[in-house]
Each structure stands twice: as structure tokens, then as C-alpha cells.
Amino acid sequence: MDKNKIYEIIDHLRPTFEVASRYVWENPELGGSEEKASAYYRRLLQESGFAIHDVPDMPYAFYAEYGAGKPVIGIMGEYDALPGLSQKPCAAKEAVVEGGPGHGCGHNLLGAGAATAAIALKDIVEQEGLAGTIRFYGCPEEELLCGKVKMVSKGCFDDVDFAITWHPMSHTLVWDGAALANITARFYFTGISSHAGAAPEKGRSALDAVELMNVGVNYLREHVIDKARIHYTTNAGGTPPNIVPPNADSWYYIRAPRMEDVKEIFERVKKCAEGAAMMTETEVKVVLENGCCEIRPHHSFADLVQENLEACPRPEYTEEELDFARKIQGTLDPAAVARDSALLGTSNEAPIMPKAGRRDLYLDLPLTASTDGGDVSYVAPMHMFAAACWPAGVNPHTWQAAAINGTTLGEKGAMYAAKVLAATVYDLLTKPDVAAAITKEFEDSKDPNYSPLV
């Protein structure tokens, strides 16, 4: 089938995509509570001819399957939102619900684009009588960095031959060796309450322990590898100042390029916590909630995706959409916009990245965040690419991204991503030599000692 025909099929499904994306954007749900979004996608895929499979003990996870035999190709979709990022689709910070969740990472676009590609591929497989199995994976809890890790641990990807996904960003490129490994842990300190004015000597402050731990970790930062990142939030349960806080905790994310680095740093962070407890005569309980691995690069897979990124025609934008993009940029640091514009080849007249970036652009734009999709790359060849949905200067987890994700500006980038997804999967179905090369690269570099950290 000519790739232009694939693009036409995706274009024909635009109403399906738009309804899905807007429904999820208008009904944002935090990770672990994606009841509406998961139900919506289950119904959409079932009505489109897919068989739905549940995941044990994960009510908002599923996979939808069409076809038979090999290869089994999984297209991964996400749909969880972020706390505190409720936002109207406008160029000013204005919440729909004050303090409510919102789609500041574009998972409404991500899931809808992935589902649209899966439905298109079902039609293509039917038309051409192709062998193979198409799956759409409904993946919850990505923002908690654990949904896909849990699904991997339950064997959901054991028979998958290839997996692919994408993410909205301000650029279009392959991520060939990106995303940091991560451990999520909480440190619960318990002390002794007392009147802070009348008898402070009788108290043992859990909050003091939290603060001392954080000071220790701040000194530790100088003595870990350069690419490691350690960040935290704290909580003392709203204890008023006239009470020595008996309970307080820190919530830590520890990131590094490899999981083995993360584990080593985590042990040192634990020592900071233990030292803080000793200094304050409190007790500490360490809870390792979950961890996700880095994305293992599969260069031949990235090469295939790069070809399709370059071949797929870029969206065309109306002047109204471009004006909205410029207004969004006007809310950002001008120096940051200028820097990103120079790197991405954009301008005031064309603020959206005009075409796929050079093959090694990911070196200048490394994905130093984390994703639970990294664990999938340990059990099957997997690739995640970025598609430009936002103008230069916009980053995920911001109100600016949340605003754009509810507009046609973001939707056009997601439709482009759906075309790239469908075209790439079509190549895997019809080009056995390309598929075999990707499989060989994966097998040659496979880690026999991998196990999901859940």
C-alpha cells in the first residue's frame, strides 16, 4: 500500500481522533483513577472490531487486539493527567477548575493519536489480508512512572515483537537512547510531639529530620554522576508551629541514565535519611514505591521511524493557530524561546517546528525526564518518538502545554504522529528484512538479568 493511502485513512478517522482527544482533555483524571478515559477507549476499540483484554488487579489498564499470528505489534497509549494543571484553551493562565488536574503533558493527544493509528491499521490489515496482530495498549499511571512497569510484570508484553509510542513536544525527532531510569521512594519520619514553647526539650521533631535529610542530600549532589537528578517534596501534615511535629515525610525521585546508577544513589540517599533520624532521635521508614528503567536504544528501529517522520507531510496551520502559538510564546522567557527557536529552526512567522529534526538532534534535546515505557524496551524492541504539538519554548507539565493540548494546534501534531505510527507499523508488517534487523539488534543486546521494579 502506498504511504499516501495510509495518510488518507488516518485523515478519514480525524473525527474519531478529535472526539477522543477532546473527551479526555475535558475529563482529566490523575494516574490511578482513569476510569472515564479507560472506559472510553475500551468502548471505542471494541466498537472498531478489537477484542478487549483486561489486566489483573489493574482496573484502568487493558489491551485491545485485532488480527492473528506474528508479528505482534503493540501501540501504547496513555491518558492520565497532572495535578494542579487545570487550564482553559487560551493564551493566559486560567483554570477550568481551580487546583484541578489538567493535561499538561498531552496524554489526551498521545492516547487518541495511538488509538487512531491502531484503528487505521486494523482497516489496512483487513484490506490487504496481512498476517500479524495489532494491539492498542491502554496504559494508566504513566505520570506515576509505574503503569507499564506493572503491566510488564504481569506479562502483558511477553509475546510482543515490537512496541511503539510517541509523545507531544515542541520538536519532532526520534529519541534514540533517551529517558532516565528512576526510583520513587518516600521517607516517613516519626518523632515525639510536645509543646514547642512550654516543653520543646521533650519533643523530637520529625520535620527537623526531614530538613536535615534534605540538607544531606543537597551536599550529596556534588558527589554523584553528572547526569543524575534528585528532586523531592516534603509534608509535615499541617502541624502548627506551636507543636513539635511528630510526623513528617519526604517524597523523592532519583534519576540517572542507568538503573544501576539509580540504585547506587538511592542507597546513599537512604544513609542521609538514617543519619537525619539519628541526629534528631526519630525513626525513619523507607518505602520504595516503584522504579522504571531507562529506554534501551534500538538504533535500527529509530532509523525506520526517522524515515517515516521525514516522509510524512507536516501539518498546515491556519493564521489563527499560528497567532495563538505566538501568544503562548509571549508568556515565556524570551531568551528560552529564542534559544529553542534557533535549535529547532522556527521563527516568529512559523513558531512550530517545520519538519523532522536531523537524525542526531536528540543529542541536543535529550529526554532527561523518565517514562515507564523504558521497561517495555527491556522485553521487546521499542521506540518512542516526539511530534511537535507546541511552539518552540513550551515544555511539558506547564499550563501553556495544557492550553495547547485542548486546541486544534495540538491536535494537528497528534494526527501527524498517528500517521507516522501507522506507516511505521505497516513497514514492520510488510518488510520482513527490516523487522528481522530490529529483532536481531534487540536480541544481541538483551539484558538477561532484567526484572521489573514494582
Tracing cell 489498564 back to the chain, one arrives at 61
Q: Where are the alpha helices (DSSP H) in 318-379?
A: 319-329, 334-344, 376-379
Q: Is residue 256 within a helix (H) or strand (E), and if so which, with residue range? A: strand 247-256
Give the closest residue to 22 by CA, choosing from 150, 135, 109. Answer: 109
Position 87 scores a pLDDT of: 98
The set of cell numbers assigned to 74 is 503493540
What is the C-alpha to C-alpha distance for residues 126 and 120, in angstroms, rounded to an integer? 10
Encode pLDDT of 48-83 as tens digits: 999 999 999 999 999 999 999 999 999 999 999 999
What is the C-alpha to C-alpha distance for residues 140 and 32, in angstroms, rounded to an integer? 7
Position 17 scores a pLDDT of: 98
Q: Going from the N-terminus, what domains does the chain have, and what CATH number goes with each?
A: 3-179+295-444 (3.40.630.10), 181-292 (3.30.70.360)
CA angle 452, 54, 387 (to 5 degrees): 65
Encode pLDDT of 382-404 as tens digits: 999 999 999 999 999 999 999 99
CA angle 37, 102, 452 (to 5 degrees): 65
For residues 302 and 383, is the Cβ–Cβ distance under 8 A?
yes
For residues 294 and 181, is the Cβ–Cβ distance under 8 A?
yes
Ramachandran angles phi, psi of 421, nearest 5°: -60, -50
Low-confidence ranges of the chain (pLDDT < 50): none
Position 8 scores a pLDDT of: 98
Give this prediction's pTM: 0.94
Q: Around Cβ 219, how many Cβ atoms within 10 Å?
A: 9
Position 305 scores a pLDDT of: 97
The set of cell numbers assigned to 248 is 513528617
Position 40 scores a pLDDT of: 98
Position 358 scores a pLDDT of: 82
